[in-house]
Amino acid sequence: MRKPIGLVFLIVLSLVSCLIYVPPEESQTTGRQPAVSSFQPFVSGEITFGYIYDYLSSFGFWVNYSPFGYVWVPRGIDARWHPYVHGRWIWTDYGWTWVSFYSWGWLPFHYGRWGWDIHLGWFWVPDVEWGPAWVVWRFSDIYIGWAPVPPNVRFRPGHGFEWRNGHIDYHLWVFIEGRRFVEGRLANWVIPRERNRTLINFTVLADRYSLRNNIIINDALSPQHVERMTGRPITRVNIKEMKQPAEERVSMNEVRIYRPVIRKEAAAPKTAISLEEAVQRLTPDRLRQDVNSINSYHRREQTLLEKTQKMEIEKLKQQTEKEIRGAPPQEKQRKLKELQARIEQLRQQHGEEKEQLLQRQAREKQSIKPENLRNKNH
């Protein structure tokens, strides 16, 4: 991915606090153990790159984009769109598996990689290896976050993903309250990205997946941890093979997934456009939003921002109360003084986050097309 992101797209935040979450050790006996069945890889026929180019052309367009060659951009998405948001997570024999609400989701959320460009936005690079979801995780006892694995990042069994630049840019992460993780409409619970720098420092990275029968198992995020956060048992959902592309659906503890073998071949899209033309095509979609829907979205963002900020301060207080319980008076006084300093630092960050959120929301309102503003009165 290109790297001039910070100069144009991002607003520099102040240095984040030193709050680092250390997760509790996973108990070997507590919590329900998700059911595990005998693992059988499944195959649903074979397709080629030529088929992929033709199929996805109905839902977006192909862009000639160096250094990845032909990349795909979905049509009809706005500037806030993010991969692995419009759908849900389920636990299967392959670990955490993404179930997309898009009819085309069986392909770009299970094969290839998603990248991001400051001009193009999100784009998909095709590849042949199937996975339950090509993401890495961050988690704490408050939050769960995930981000698409960037293009050209290799997976090494026993080691995890090999990063060329050592990290994923903060604005490419999605965070939600952990208790919402198994909700059916995750898009409603995504915390505003202005909070991401703070949330990264409240969470730890999890990217070491298992490998079984040459298939990656997305189990870096423990299902037992999710059970504790959600208060719900995590039940394994069975996978049923589909013989043709269709929207992935979960019904009666079963998910239908189309997972063909992809054969790489010398092929090209019938129509591919330049980066400049792609940006021109994307601009109308990114501005196509009415004032009523954006106002509703902005109110939800503000609510989530304020709620999660309060949660963090309360969590700090609870941790400190636990630490000073039974401690000598001098130790209590020192801990309480440290707590006050950390809360002040956190509140300063929270104020900056809110200011940045309101500034972005103001820009988004200004970008609404005049005809959509007029629709408010009809």
Quote the CA–CA distance of 370 and 291 in Å, as a whole number.
10
Tokens 């309060």 appear where?
310
DSSP 104: T
Contacts of 102 (CB under 8 A, 6+ apart): 59, 74, 86, 87, 247
Q: pLDDT by residue (tens digit) across 222-273?
A: 999 999 999 999 999 999 888 888 778 888 889 999 999 999 888 999 999 9
- The pLDDT assigned to 139 comes to 97
255-264: buried (b, 16+ CB within 10 Å) or exposed (e) per residue?
bbbbbbebee
Residue 5, pLDDT score = 39
Alpha carbon distance 121, 217 (integer Å): 28
Q: Give per-residue pLDDT as tens, 44-92.
A: 588 999 999 999 999 999 999 999 999 999 998 888 899 999 999 999 9
Q: What is the pLDDT of residues 101-132, one digit of tens each?
A: 999 999 999 999 999 999 999 999 999 989 99
**Alpha carbon distance 130, 259 (integer Å):** 7
User: How do residues 173-227 score in pLDDT, each as one tens digit?
Assistant: 999 999 999 998 899 999 999 999 999 999 999 988 888 887 789 999 999 999 9
57 burial level (CB within 10 Å; 0-12, 13-18, 19+): middle
Helix (H) / strand (E) containing 99: strand 95-100
Distance CA 316, CA 85 (A): 29
CB atoms within 10 A of CB 252: 6
Cβ within 8 Å of residue 257, ≥6 positions away: 97, 106, 110, 239, 240, 241, 242, 248
Within 8 A by CB and 6+ apart from 113, the residues are 124, 125, 127, 134, 148, 149, 150, 151, 152, 153
Assign 164 a pLDDT band (cuts: 50, 70, 90).
low
| φ and ψ of 55, to 5 deg | -65, -50
- Give the SS3 label for residue 168: coil
Domain ranges of the chain: 27-287, 291-377
Full-prediction pTM beyond 0.85? no
What residues contact residue 106 under an 8 Å CB cut-off, 6+ apart? 100, 242, 245, 246, 247, 248, 257, 258, 259
**Residue 70 near residue 212 (C-beta atoms within 8 A):** no
